[in-house]
Amino acid sequence: MANRRRRTMSISEKLLRSDNPGWSSVIKRSAEKLSADAARQFRSVQAHDRQTRVLARRALAPITEQLRDDPRSMRARRDWIAGLRSGHVRARDPRAMQAIQPRVAEGSIVQLFGPPYTAVWTASLPNAGSSHPSADAIKGTFGAWMSGNGNSVFGGAGIGMGFKALSNMPMAHVRPHFRYSYNWSNTSFLETAHTSAYLKIRAIQFGPGGQQTKSPPDQVAHQLWADGTGWFDKHKDQGDDVWPGTVQLDFPLVANQFYAIWIYCQVFADDAGVNAFSFSSSFASLRVRVPFFVVEESEV
């Protein structure tokens, strides 16, 4: 059997191995912090979506009661469902590509990182079977897909890497090269439905002993989409191998510290499911590829 080709270890990883022998396990354990924050965010989104549904049902109750008792409305409901199966939906306009701007400052130091990454993270809420997240450290891919099925659902996934500065410059800038494919839809028949997705970068700071020394960690979020439907709306969108533009995290460097760099996604879906008369459905799928990312150390 041929020997598997291995990626050359970066200078940052060599420093970590020399100065912080337990760095790899620290990076992997830091995924728990992503899960805890995701749970808090999910509860907030879930509460908001449920409140929206309560208000919508209250406002539409008189209309729903009248329509439910009219045979013509039941026929219209059947026709509506048949229309969904035929794929008759409204598509979004194609997204415009963004121009690339020069980013590297004169006199800065740039490190390049690529697969295999150190760690992966996945999370599914409200329980393990609610969504379908996945992450591959060797391929540098991650994502999640889900359907609301009458509930609020969350899926998150990402890759993590250790980083240690090579200089005494005060600032670091993390820039992943993202490519992603997505597919989402929201459908409403007198109920509400929502989907949204985000790309995120986080830098968790640790001291020499592996203890977290800064809270909250530095983080940036890039929204890919956020859509909602009500009344009799149908929305959907999809795309393959999309470039989201430059997504960058800037954070201050501290001497004798090392960092867990997490690059990940969060996907949400929420709907009412099928009721006696009204219904709504949501679906979301996101697949992300990060073939490499760079960390620039600079004076600004």
Q: State how beta strands 90-91 and 234-242 pair.
A: parallel
Q: Residue type for 1, please?
A: M
Q: What confidence tens digit (pLDDT) does each residue in 79-89 have?
A: 766 665 544 44
Are 113 and 295 spatial neighbours (Cβ–Cβ below 8 Å)? yes
Give the mean pLDDT of the chain: 86
Separation CA 141–CA 289 (nearest Å) = 4
Let me know if residue 2 belongs to a domain: no
Q: Comparing 90 with 153, which gets the higher pLDDT?
A: 153
Six-digit token pair at 179?
């490519």
Separation CA 170–CA 55 (nearest Å) = 49
Separation CA 110–CA 169 (nearest Å) = 12
Confidence (pLDDT) at 81: 64
Let me know if residue 1 belongs to a domain: no
Let me know if residue 168 belongs to a domain: yes
Separation CA 19–CA 243 (nearest Å) = 37
Let me know if residue 78 belongs to a domain: yes
Are 201 and 259 spatial neighbours (Cβ–Cβ below 8 Å)? no
Q: How many domains does the chain have?
A: 1
Confidence (pLDDT) at 68: 67
Among the ranges given (42-56, 119-133, 167-181), the one the predictor scored with the smallest mean pLDDT? 42-56
| Phi and psi angles of residue 5, each rounded to the nearest 5 degrees, phi first | -70, 130
* Strands in 67-178 per DSSP E: 90-91, 109-113, 119-125, 132-136, 141-147, 152-163, 171-176
Q: What confidence tens digit (pLDDT) does each residue in 229-288 have?
A: 988 889 999 999 999 988 999 999 999 999 999 999 999 999 998 887 788 999 999 999
Let me know if residue 226 belongs to a domain: yes
Picking from 252, 229, 227, the residue whose alpha carbon sits closest to that of residue 237 is 227
Let me know if residue 6 belongs to a domain: no
Let me know if residue 48 belongs to a domain: yes
Let me know if residue 139 belongs to a domain: yes
Query: What is the extent of the structural domain holding 293?
Result: 11-90+108-298
Q: Residue type for 221, please?
A: A
**Residues composing the chain:** 300
Mean pLDDT of 22-42: 91
Q: What confidence tens digit (pLDDT) does each residue in 163-217 have?
A: 999 999 999 999 999 999 999 999 998 889 999 999 999 999 999 999 999 999 9
Among the ranges given (27-31, 101-105, 218-222), the one the predictor scored with the smallest mean pLDDT? 101-105
